[in-house]
Structure 1
């Protein structure tokens, strides 16, 4: 399983190079599916303009506009209403999944409900997450990041990696995302965690973890 877990997308040459290295062919020969679902559950985003900007690769959404051979949309909320033979083969054949930011618990819920969560470990595709699209891979996200509340409550997510992520560290538009806040969050969440800024990503290949950064990050442990 190959994961590229970013905070703000493929924003610099180092993250871009890591992505190219994870693919088995050039970007121009790769077919991608983008997943905007997490956006719908976030109060600052929701359906509408932001989701369209992500899907169309509008500047500021550096994932869909990297020069893929083709880009399709995989909307998780629609999948339970159609037969699996309409979408599972498509997902199995794609080269990369581009997963937007938004609300991590909303994304987790629909990954589970749609059946995508069960498929992920067996896929050949490189999974590229942005913000919530990365956080959903952790065992939990912590109370600080709970927005949309799942029917069962809690802050548990997929647990496909053994660490949690605090994204957008020291972001100019998010004054509360300080290192002190990240350290307090990590103390409450327990277990290994990383605080990363938008120039940092975490590469995971077959369980091996590597931090790719042109910015600032810190591994947070108890």
Structure 2
């Protein structure tokens, strides 16, 4: 897959340009599926928040960018409808827009639904993650971000990339998300880790990592 791992969606022109580059064509010619599943796993998640994401009325731009079409892929529904129906939907999409919420809950349902197993075959599909939707692609999220308890009981996620992500760095509504706190969090992560603010994203193509930022970020190496 081609990855655009954001803290807060398509927040500025640089991240927007990175998305278009990954798509290889204009947004207006691209078909999107949005995945709201992570919204329901977080203790602060609500049905209203999920609706805002899907309807493009969130403060974090994803679904409202002018796509040719936008559909909803709810992962908790997939096991009950059969792969022969939903796999073609995913293969026909140019981009998966993945909402924030709880990364471990999202990871669980990616595995349960079969989407996680499908990812390696989606070589041209773009994964555009928002917060937890980005963190799920990392090896570990760190104990600080564990809310919903997975069956495994640990903080491991999909490991599609080899680094972890501390999102929403220095966010005004999250006073605990300081650089000092990010450094403490990174000390407990066994792999490289990025702290990124809401004006920053990480672009990954064939293992090549590029930070796209109009804000600030830091790479921590164990």
**Could you say which TM-score interval applies, normalised by the shorter chain?**
over 0.9
Distance apart, 1:131 and its partner CA: 0.1
Superposed CA offset, 1:162-189 (max 9, x none): 0000000000000000000000010011
Q: State which drifts further: 182-191 or 203-212.
A: 182-191
What residue in structure 2 maps to residue 165 of structure 1?
A: 165
Does residue 10 (structure 1) correspond to residue 6 (structure 2)? The answer is no
Partner of 1:45: 45
The 3-state SS of whatever aligns with 1:34 is strand
Q: Which residue of 2 aligns with 1:67?
A: 66
Instruction: Return the alpha-carbon distance in structure 1 between the equivalents of residues 131 and 45 of structure 2.
Output: 13
Deviation at 1:152, TM superposition (A): 2.0
Structure 1 unaligned spans of 5+? none
The superposition leaves residues 84-121 of structure 1 with CA deviations (integer Å, 9 ceiling, x where unpaired) of 11100110110000000000000000000000001112
Show CA shifts across 1:182-208 (max 9, x none). Answer: 000100112100000000000000100
Question: What CA RMSD, in Å, does the superposition of the two structures yield over aligned residues?
Answer: 0.7
Q: Which residue does 1:175 correspond to in 2?
A: 175
Partner of 1:134: 134
2:113 is matched with 114
Structure 1 distance, partners of 2:58, 2:6, is 17
CA distance in 1: counterparts of 2:72 and 2:60, whole angstroms: 15
Tell me which stretches of 4 or more aligned residues in structure 1 moved more than 4 Å: none
Task: Determine whether 1:154 maps to 2:154.
Answer: yes
What residue number does 2:191 align with?
191
Q: Displacement, 1:45?
A: 1.1
| More divergent stretch after superposition (165-174 vs 21-30) | 21-30
Instruction: Tell me if the contact between 1:53 and 1:61 (Cα under 8 Å) persists in the aligned partners.
Output: no
Q: CA deviation at 1:59?
A: 4.1
TM-score of the aligned structures, taking structure 2 as reference length: 0.98
> Quick one: distance in 1 between partners of 2:60 and 2:170?
19
**Partner residue in 2 for 1:216:** 216
93-102 or 59-68: bigger deviation: 59-68
Alignment match, 2:85:
86
Shift of 1:25: 1.5
Unaligned runs of 5+ in 2: none
Count of equivalent residues: 221
Counterpart-to-counterpart distance in 2, 1:135 and 1:121: 17
SS at match of 1:189: coil
- TM value normalised by structure 1: 0.98
